[in-house]
Structure 1
């Protein structure tokens, strides 16, 4: 059993070491080539103020895109809620009609 632990500890990398390794590779966005997962274009590869500005613009773009998606999702959900509320209203009206028909039938059969 202990030999199995020894083998698995050698085969599976230590997660804390991996996280330190990967975090050291990232750096600041727009600070030059090789940081943040690759070049991303000549301006970002050059780094400096223009690279940081471009990285900021990209972040802003994705923030706005996510905000629009959330707004659309919210609007779609509001539409679905309205639809289902209307369906509930229609079903309640149908129930009342059926109940009234049952009462009418019962009153006719008593005579």
Structure 2
């Protein structure tokens, strides 16, 4: 059975730095700290991504509302032109 992270070189847990290579309690503790660091880093990155995507959604929703308003103005203008054209005939 191969060892876990921090068990030391030749025991399945080395090559992660000098403390890990030595194995023992310090190697296991260092491996746990690294795992915790990367877990927190990934969680932080996912939160930043979520926030960025939320901002993108809000931006595009505002654009949709602006485009709807512009479309309505154009439709109104088309009606006005058609009405003025009917009166001219």
Normalising by the residue count of structure 1, what TM-score does the alignment of the two structures yield?
0.72
Q: Which residue of 2 aligns with 1:84?
A: 60
Q: Does residue 68 in structure 1 map to residue 44 in structure 2?
A: yes
Extract unaligned runs of 5+ from structure 1: 1-23
Give 4+ residue runs of structure 1 displaced > 3 Å after superposition: none
CA distance in 2, matches of 1:65, 1:80: 23
Q: Which residue of 2 aligns with 1:98?
A: 74
Deviation at 1:75, TM superposition (A): 0.8
Give the SS at the match of 2:15. coil
Extract unaligned runs of 5+ from structure 2: none
| 1:23-42 Cα deviation digits (max 9, x unpaired) | x6x52011111424x42222
Deviation at 1:85, TM superposition (A): 0.4
Higher relative contact order structure (alpha carbons within 8 Å, sequence separation ≥ 6): 2
| 1:78-100 Cα deviation digits (max 9, x unpaired) | 01101110110111001000000
Normalising by the residue count of structure 2, what TM-score does the alignment of the two structures yield?
0.88
Q: Which residue of 2 aligns with 1:41?
A: 17
Give the SS at the match of 2:5. coil
Q: How many residues align?
A: 86
Q: Does residue 31 in structure 1 map to residue 12 in structure 2?
A: no
